[in-house]
């Protein structure tokens, strides 16, 4: 089994990353142009909430796929390139609404630590 696994090509992370970037960009497109108020207030959060949830789901799905493949170099590459995208998710004025952003960043940090540990071993 290990010989077969060694011959398998590495997974391509580019399509998944491109989709994640597209979904994060959709968050910024949904943000209203606020001249007098905050662009991180409750109105903006309600308007962008669906896009945030969709982006979180896409990043977490990619994370789970690459983690389950146990190709740690590919998982590390995905996590390192998806982390800046996760940090692009807006920080809202109401701290209780930042859960999806924090969950994605925490999961990507954990994957980076795990992948580095597995690669070194």
Residue range 63-72: average pLDDT?
Answer: 91
Residue range 76-102: average pLDDT?
Answer: 96
Residue range 28-46: average pLDDT?
Answer: 86
Q: 6 or 109, which is more confident?
A: 109
Of all residues in the chain, the percent with pLDDT exceeding 90 is 74
pTM, two decimals, is 0.89
The residues, ordered by sequence, that sit 6+ positions from 98 with a Cβ below 8 Å of its Cβ are 91, 92
Asked whether residue 57 carries a pLDDT value surpassing 90, the answer given is: yes
SS3 letters across the chain: CHHHHHHCCCCCCHHHHHHHHHHHHHHHHHCCCCCCCCCCCHHHHHHHHHHHHHHHHHHHHHHHHHHHHCCHHHHHHHHHHHHHHHHCCCCCCCHHHHHHHHHHHHHHHHHHHHHHHHHHC
Residue 1 pLDDT level (bands cut at 50, 70, 90): low
Give the alpha-carbon dihedral of 108, 27, 61, 70, to 10 degrees. Answer: -40
Residue 85 confidence (pLDDT): 96
Q: What is the pLDDT of residues 9-36, one digit of tens each?
A: 778 899 999 999 999 999 999 998 877 7
């Amino acid at each position: 089994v290990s010989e077969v696994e060694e011959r398998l090509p590495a997974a391509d992370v580019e399509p998944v990353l491109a989709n994640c970037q597209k979904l994060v960009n959709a968050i910024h497109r949904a943000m209203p142009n606020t001249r007098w108020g905050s662009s991180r207030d409750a109105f903006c959060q309600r308007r962008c909430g669906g896009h945030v949830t969709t982006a979180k789901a896409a990043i977490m799905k990619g994370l789970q796929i690459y983690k389950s493949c146990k190709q740690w170099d590919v998982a590390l590459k995905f996590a390192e390139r998806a982390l800046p995208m996760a940090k692009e998710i807006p920080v809202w004025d109401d701290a209780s609404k930042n859960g999806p952003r924090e969950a994605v960043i925490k999961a990507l940090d954990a994957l980076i630590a795990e992948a580095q540990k597995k690669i070194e071993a």
